Amino acid sequence: MAKKPTAIVIGAGIGGIATAGRLAKQGFAVTVLEKNSTPGGRCGQIVRDGHRFDIGPTLFLMPEVWEETFAALGEKMSDHMRLVRIDPTYKVHFDDGLQLQLTSNLGEMQAQLEKVEKTAFTGFLGYIAEGSKHYKISLEKFVGRNFYNIFEYFSLANLPLLFQLKALMKHYSNTGRFFKDERLKAAFTFQNMYLGLSPYDAPATYSLLQYTELAEGVWYPMGGMYKGIETLTAIAEKLGVRFVYNTPVKAIHCSNNKVESVETETGQVYSADLFVGNADLPYIYKELLPKNAEADKLDKKLYTCSTIMFYWAVDKQYPQIAHHNVFLAGDYKASFDQIFNEHKLPAQPSFYIHAPARTDAAAAPQGQDTLYVLVPVGHMDAANKQDWNEMVNRARETVFARLEKEMAITDLREHIKFEMINTPLTWKAQFNLEKGAAFGLSHNFWQVGFLRPQNRHARFKNLYFAGASTHPGTGLPIVLLSARLTTERILKEAKSWQVEGTQLILQPVNS
Ligand SMILES: Cc1cc2nc3c(=O)[nH]c(=O)nc-3n(C[C@H](O)[C@H](O)[C@H](O)COP(=O)(O)OP(=O)(O)OC[C@H]3O[C@@H](n4cnc5c(N)ncnc54)[C@H](O)[C@@H]3O)c2cc1C
């Protein structure tokens, strides 16, 4: 009887877990080698003294993509996770005192918008309609499919779609067609930060984000975002996937246009028929593969921004703070320029606060609070000196000052029981994210679709990639799509990697 083909996945981020599960479901014997002691990567969790922090993602978007992943693994999402819709999605605070609650309730939206600008509600409806068109075309024609060559991408059928998607227009200036008030333009473009992009550089296509949030909803899985990781990991294990933790891969060994094995930091060598890199793609080219010119090219590409994070355990609750809160900088444009061009913390930083205990009391001990603060900042830049201590201290003071001014919270400092901090240095050290860029490679016109690093190595035909820095891009649901597309490609290209007759059996060969 033929033996199962074997696969090794490097990294147990959501992309690695989902790809491993899908491959196991297709009959592969899969082993996942993960550097850290737990799965999840950026979608990790810290539980300390009864406070439960999601360390990265807090917005559960595009539930239909999650549903599809569960279905592909033979399960139903609702059997495993209880999702609660968060609406209003965010409370947005402007530094002149204006507040907006973004909501799918059209009456409430109309009342709020017309107070700011007479025609803004009509503009809003037009903006969301355009976002809906962008979402549907993008998902069907660009994000949810593989491109095997440049002609498929720039095909006669696709070229008009690139215009319909406004792929060459900038998001911020296109928003000016719907709103005149600068604060409204800001309220409907800050979401570009999830892709780690400035709205002044992002294609206008990304109005699809506001559409997904308001029309399809921002959700929260009870138990926290990590519930998605725990559940998918358990399902993958049930399908036979073996997860090996505390096992950083230090090299990928290749010969004759094939990857033969990977070697871990302790010197164990794992062989397989097929390999999937889920760790950050530029890092794999630079640090794990034999020296190659592609690594230098990747180094010169545009990277997303990074973040300074504060995880605060607080011994009281501040009901003024909603589940999702966004505080926008007064000088919106300058703040993006300083993040993306100068790679700094802006003089006036914007920030976001997550207070999961508003929806899920179990996130904090009774009467207490668990607060997560995300302050966007430039990624690491070897050419410029960056003083992270100074930036962390200034970010913290900005948060305290705005909470005091706009929410009358004067005593937060005294009520923080403990603080944990992440900076770009932490993102790099913990997860090997190149340049500490929290969201991976950027998503401008030149780095999406076929122009993004492909999900299979050009020369080593049994080395595939799944994760935020390959096609289609960053964000949990988009990485779940990456896992689907990579699996589809692996199956389609079976002839190029499959070992004839019998297959290798995975085992450390020199342990
Ligand atoms: C602060 C922040 C907020 C975010 N907010 C949202 C949000 O609200 N909603 C949303 O949908 N998305 C959000 N995202 C994006 C989302 O977290 C990512 O797109 C997604 O988690 C990436 O998954 P991945 O599998 O590609 O990579 P990762 O999560 O980075 O996983 C890669 C794995 O590879 C492992 N690894 C690295 N090197 C090695 C090695 N040498 N050997 C073995 N293992 C290795 C790492 O430890 C890691 O576990 C956010 C991200 C951040 C950082």
Q: What is the pLDDT of residues 174-191, one digit of tens each?
A: 999 999 999 999 999 998
d(C-alpha 228, C-alpha 238), whole Å = 15
Q: Is 80 helix (H, G, I), strand (E, B) or coil?
A: coil
Confidence of residue 499 (pLDDT cuts 50, 70, 90): confident
pLDDT per residue as tens digits for the range 36-53: 999 999 999 999 999 999
Q: Give the model's pLDDT for residue 158.
A: 86
Q: How close is the Cα of 13 to the center of ligand 1, in Å?
A: 6
Q: Cβ(13) to ligand 1 under 6 A?
A: yes
Secondary structure letter of residue 58 according to DSSP? -
**Ligand 1 pocket member 201 (CB < 6 A):** no
Cβ neighbours of residue 82 under 8 Å, at least 6 residues apart?
A: 221, 222, 223
For ligand 1, say whether the CB of 209 is within 6 Å of any of its atoms.
no
- Count Cβ atoms within 10 A of the Cβ of residue 74 and give its class: 0-12 exposed, 13-18 middle, 19 or more buried: exposed
How would residue 271 be classed by pLDDT, with cut points 50, 70 and 90?
very high
Task: Identify the sign of the CA torsion 390, 391, 393, 394.
Answer: positive
- The percent of residues above 70 in pLDDT, for the chain, comes to 97
- Render the burial of 291-304: b for 16+ CB within 10 Å, e for the rest: eeebbeebeebbbb
Report the separation in Å between the CA atom of 278 and the middle of ligand 1, taken as the mean of its atom positions: 9
Q: At 415, phi and psi to the nearest 5?
A: -100, 5
- Predicted confidence at residue 503, as pLDDT, reads 52
CA angle 43, 45, 50 (to 5 degrees): 155
* Close Cβ partners of 459 (under 8 Å, ≥ 6 residues apart): 257
R_g of the chain, CA atoms, integer Å: 23
How confident is the model over 444-460, as a mean pLDDT? 93
56 lines ligand 1 (CB under 6 A): yes
Reported confidence tier of residue 1, pLDDT bands at 50, 70, 90: low
Give the rounded distance of the alpha carbon of 273 from its chain centre: 29
Which of these, 203, 176, 206, 177, lies nearest to 191 by C-alpha position? Answer: 206
Q: What is the largest CA-CA distance in the chain?
A: 73
pLDDT over 70 at 506, yes or no? no
- Supply the pLDDT for residue 37: 98
Does the CB atom of residue 12 touch ligand 1 within 6 A?
yes
76-99: average pLDDT: 96
- Sheet with 269-271, strands from edge to edge, namely 249-255, 258-264, 269-271
**Which of 130-144, 235-249, 264-278, 301-315 has the lowest average pLDDT?**
130-144
Distance of alpha carbon 290 from its chain centroid, rounded?
28
Average per-residue pLDDT in the chain?
A: 94
Is the pLDDT at 26 greater than 70? The verdict is: yes
* Ligand 1 contact via 89 beta carbon (within 6 Å): no
- Tell whether ligand 1 has an atom less than 6 A from the beta carbon of residue 24: no
Q: Is the predicted pLDDT of residue 487 greater than 90, yes or no?
A: yes
Question: 41 alpha carbon to ligand 1 midpoint, in Å?
Answer: 5
Total count of residues recorded for the chain = 511
C-alpha distance from residue 78 to each of 85, 221, 227 (Å): 14, 10, 12
**Which ligand 1 atom is at minimum distance from the Cα of 264?**
42
Closest to 248 in 3D by CA, of 261, 271, 266: 266
Query: Which of 42, 55, 192, 452 most suits a substitution to test ligand 1, by most atoms within 8 Å of the C-beta?
Result: 42
Distance 75 CA to ligand 1 centre (A): 23
Dihedral sign (CA 472, 476, 482, 485): negative
Q: Is the pLDDT of residue 426 over 80?
A: yes
Q: Is the shortest distance between the CB of 244 and ligand 1 below 6 Å?
A: no
The values of phi and psi at residue 354, to 5°, are -110, 125
Atom 18, ligand 1: residue with shortest CA distance: 475
Task: List the beta bridge partners of residue 117.
Answer: none
Of all protein residues, the one whose alpha carbon is nearest to atom 15 of ligand 1 is 475
SS3 of 50, please?
coil
Edge-first strand order for the sheet with 274-277 is: 242-244, 29-33, 6-10, 274-277, 463-465
Q: Is 15 in the pocket of ligand 1 (CB under 6 A)?
A: yes
User: 57: Cβ below 6 Å to ligand 1?
Assistant: yes
Structure tokens at 268: 């164990």
Q: How far is the CA of 424 from the centre of ligand 1 (A)?
A: 13
Task: Average the pLDDT over 134-142 and give the result.
Answer: 92
pLDDT of 508: 43
- For the ranges 132-141, 180-189, 316-325, 489-498, which has the lowest average pLDDT? 489-498
Q: Measure 425 CA to ligand 1 centroid, in angstroms.
A: 15
Residue 305 Cβ contacting ligand 1 at under 6 Å: no
Res 500: pLDDT: 66
* Residue 307 near ligand 1, beta carbon < 6 Å: yes
Cα-to-centroid distance, 499 and ligand 1 (Å): 31
Phi then psi dihedrals of residue 148, to 5 deg? -95, -15
Residue 279 in contact with ligand 1 by CB distance below 6 A: yes
Q: Kindly report the three-state secondary structure assignment for every residue of 436-470.
A: HCCCCECCCHHHCHHHCCCCECCCCCCEEECCCCC
For residue 404, pLDDT over 90 is answered with yes
Asked if the model's pLDDT at residue 510 lies above 60, the reply is no
Q: How confident is the model at residue 507 (pLDDT cuts 50, 70, 90)?
A: very low
Percent of the chain with pLDDT over 90: 87
Helical (H) or strand (E) element with 405: helix 388-407
Backbone angles phi, psi at 230, to 5 degrees: -60, -45
Kind and range of the H or E element at 84? strand 83-86
Retrieve residue 295's tokens. 């690594």
Rounded to the nearest whole angstrom, what is the distance from the C-alpha of residue 184 to the centroid of ligand 1? 31
pLDDT at 501: 58
User: Per residue in 216-230, pLDDT tens?
Assistant: 999 999 999 999 999
Phi-psi region of 257 (alpha: psi -120 to 50; beta: other; left: phi over 0): left
Q: How confident is the model at residue 168 (pLDDT cuts 50, 70, 90)?
A: confident
The residue nearest atom 47 of ligand 1, judged by CA position, is 431
Strands (E), 315-354: 324-327, 351-354
481 lines ligand 1 (CB under 6 A): no
Q: What is the mean pLDDT of residues 64-78?
A: 97
Q: Is this model's pTM higher than 0.85 or not?
A: yes
Query: What is the average pLDDT across 101-113?
Result: 96
Q: Quick check: CB of 10 below 6 Å from ligand 1?
A: yes
pLDDT score, position 504: 41
- 43 Cα–ligand 1 center, Å: 6
CA 291 – CA 217 distance, rounded (Å): 45
